[in-house]
Structure 1
Amino acid sequence: MVFFLIMIIVILIGFIFFQYSTQKNKDEDLRYIYEKLQNILEKQTAVKLLVVTDNKELQKLLVAINHLLVAMQTTKADQAKVEISMRKMLSNISHDLKTPLTVVLGYVEMLHTDPTMTEDERQVILKKVHMKTIEVMELIHKFFDLAKLESGDKEIELTRINLNEVCQDNILSFYDLLIAKGFSVDIDIPNEQLYGHGNTAVLSRVLNNLISNAITYGEDGKTLGMTLRSDEKTVYIDIWDKGKGISESHIDKVFERMYTLEDSRNRIYQGSGLGLTITKRLVEALGGEIHLSSKPYDKTVFTILLKRMNY
């Protein structure tokens, strides 16, 4: 009987010691986690918490903390990217506004200070001032359009639209210009009527932007094409040209705010860098996607993907 009691006491002492040891290890683990988190937050490092433990609840806590750390680090990286993009955008738009306004100011000073100027000369200068003013207004409108799209303030009503008609109307509106510039035009629109989930006015603006872009950057190839195709769930619109194209290193950047190709330094290619960004945001507002592939002087293709609607 005494031996039995001694065994019980030994077991109880062992259990108490085990609990104490476990609690001590848990306290040490929690202390380590706290100190490590403090270090990560102070130094803004990208490391994760690694603790070897058999405690299931502590393991769950570590997994949750590491998920939060990853989310925080991702948010920080995205924020840094946005800040860099915004600084670049403000720098570029300041430059793009300053250039035509400086020209306008120069013309106004000429009109104001030159009493010998003839009426015909004044009319020529006034026409140039008018054109530059329109250029500035268009840039400002693009900037605010992009701001509205990215803030979600611009509501777009989505309905079932006939894509055959939208594509035909838009490519035909450029047909005379294309022929005058010596382009050959390749239009591949099927007889079958294809319908998509979208907005006629918004899609027309997208196609307008892409066709204008193809005329400007694809002029060397003297070929422009439009293809309308589909599968069971998606309708695809391809706008393509055979011009100088876009190198692989630039493809992922062309839809970024204020991004312009190196050729934008050349006056005939100069642009605000907002056109393709607005185009992408408009396509996304339609619930679609836009992709780009390019092989210089072979084929550069912008492809719009929209949800197909049969009924």
Structure 2
Amino acid sequence: MTLLLSIIIIVLLFIIAVQSYSRRKMNRSLNEIQKKLSDIFEQKTTEKVLIQTDHQTIKQFLIQMNRLLDYNQQVIADYVKTKESLRKLLSNMSHDLKTPLTVILGYVEKLHLDNSMSVEERSQAISRLHQKTLNVITLLNQFFDLVKLDSGDYSFPLSKISINEVCRKNVLEFYDLLQSKNLRVEVNIPEQPYFVLGNEEALNRVLSNLISNAIRYGSDGGEFGLTVREDGEFIAIDIWDKGKGIAKVHQDQVFERLYTLDDARSPEFQGSGLGLSITKNLIEVMKGSIYLSSTPYEKTVFTCVFHRITY
């Protein structure tokens, strides 16, 4: 009986010792984790908490903690990006609105104060004033459109639409401008009808923006093209030119709001940096995708891809 009692006591003491050792080890691990977390937050680093341990609970704890750190770092990165976008938004809005508003004010003052203007001069000034006012309204509408798209306030009911017909109509609307730029036009739209689930108003805006961009920025290449083609279960629309193109370093950023190339800020290539962002949003509303491929003075292609429907 005494021997059995001694064995029980020894076993209990061993268990207590093991538990005590395990607790001390866990405390050391938790202290290391606490210190590492403190260093990460104080120094604002992107490190992870890496602690060697064989304790399964602590391992799972570390996995979830590092996931939380990843999320936190992503939130910080998004905040910095948003802050920079806001800064650029204010800068671009200031530039894009101040210039035409100054011109508008100049025309108004001239019409109001200059009594020596002839009827023809007054008519020209009014025409220019009207055009500048329309430009400002267009720019403001672009800003509001992007806000609405982001907030989900835009309603675009989807229905069966003919890609062929919409593309033909949009090319015809730019016929006079293409002719005035002396561009060689290559349009390949199959006779076989292709249908997608989309919104005709949204698709018109997409094509109008891409075609006008190709003419504005790519007319120095002397060619413009639009191709509708089958791509497996998808229908693709390629809008291309052979102008100066877009350098590789910019290609991943052109769809970001307010991103403009350096020459897009010049009077000749004035742009708000919103057109392609709105285009991308509209295509995504229609469950499609847009891609860019560009080799300067060889070929720059914007490709819109939509799911084909056959019913």
TM-score by length of 1: 0.95
In the alignment, what sits opposite 1:221? 221
Identical-pair percentage: 49
Which segment is superposed worse, 97-106 or 252-261?
252-261
Does 2:283 match 1:308?
no
Amino acid at match of 1:167: C
Separation (CA, whole Å) in 1 of partners of 2:184 and 2:131: 30
Separation (CA, whole Å) in 1 of partners of 2:176 and 2:104: 32
Which SS does the other structure have where 1:186 is aligned? strand
Amino acid at match of 1:289: S
* CA apart distance, 1:204: 1.1
Separation (CA, whole Å) in 1 of partners of 2:55 and 2:159: 55
Separation (CA, whole Å) in 2 of partners of 1:108 and 1:63: 66
Separation (CA, whole Å) in 1 of partners of 2:57 and 2:233: 45
* CA apart distance, 1:195: 1.2
Separation (CA, whole Å) in 1 of partners of 2:164 and 2:115: 58
Which SS does the other structure have where 2:161 is aligned? strand
In the alignment, what sits opposite 2:159? 159
Amino acid at match of 1:282: L
What are the equivalent positions in structure 2 for 1:17-36 lying under 5 Å apart?
Answer: 17-36=17-36
In the alignment, what sits opposite 2:41? 41
Query: Deviation digits for residues 251-299 of structure 1, max 9, x if unmatched?
Result: 1221122222222244221122211111111111111111111111111
What are the equivalent positions in structure 2 for 1:185-200 lying under 5 Å apart?
Answer: 185-200=185-200
Separation (CA, whole Å) in 2 of partners of 1:156 and 1:265: 31
Separation (CA, whole Å) in 1 of partners of 2:88 and 2:52: 45
> Structure 1 156/265 Cα, relative in aligned 2: closer, same or farther at 3 Å?
closer
Does 2:9 match 1:9?
yes
Which segment is superposed worse, 188-197 or 92-101?
188-197
Query: Deviation digits for residues 134-157 of structure 1, max 9, x if unmatched?
Result: 111111111101111111111211
Does 2:226 match 1:242?
no
Q: Structure 2 stretches of 5 or more lacking a match?
A: none
In the alignment, what sits opposite 1:100? 100
In the alignment, what sits opposite 1:60? 60
Counterpart contact for 2:215–2:224, Cα < 8 Å? yes
Query: Deviation digits for residues 184-217 of structure 1, max 9, x if unmatched?
Result: 1111122222111211111111001111111111
Separation (CA, whole Å) in 1 of partners of 2:208 and 2:26: 65
* CA apart distance, 1:2: 4.1
Amino acid at match of 1:31: N
Which segment is superposed worse, 19-28 or 63-72?
19-28
In the alignment, what sits opposite 1:109? 109
Separation (CA, whole Å) in 2 of partners of 1:87 and 1:199: 33
What are the equivalent positions in structure 2 for 1:64-75 lying under 5 Å apart?
Answer: 64-75=64-75
In the alignment, what sits opposite 1:274? 274
Which SS does the other structure have where 1:54 is aligned? coil
Separation (CA, whole Å) in 2 of partners of 1:85 and 1:9: 70
Q: Structure 1 stretches of 5 or more lacking a match?
A: none
In the alignment, what sits opposite 1:259? 259
User: How many residues are aligned here?
Assistant: 311
- Runs of 4+ in structure 1 off by over 6 angstroms are none
Which SS does the other structure have where 1:279 is aligned? helix
Separation (CA, whole Å) in 2 of partners of 1:179 and 1:119: 32
TM-score by length of 2: 0.95
Separation (CA, whole Å) in 1 of partners of 2:281 and 2:296: 26
Amino acid at match of 1:184: R
Separation (CA, whole Å) in 1 of partners of 2:59 and 2:158: 47
* CA apart distance, 1:4: 4.3
In the alignment, what sits opposite 2:283? 283
Counterpart contact for 2:243–2:299, Cα < 8 Å? yes
Amino acid at match of 2:146: L
Counterpart contact for 2:265–2:271, Cα < 8 Å? no
Which SS does the other structure have where 1:140 is aligned? helix
* CA apart distance, 1:44: 2.6
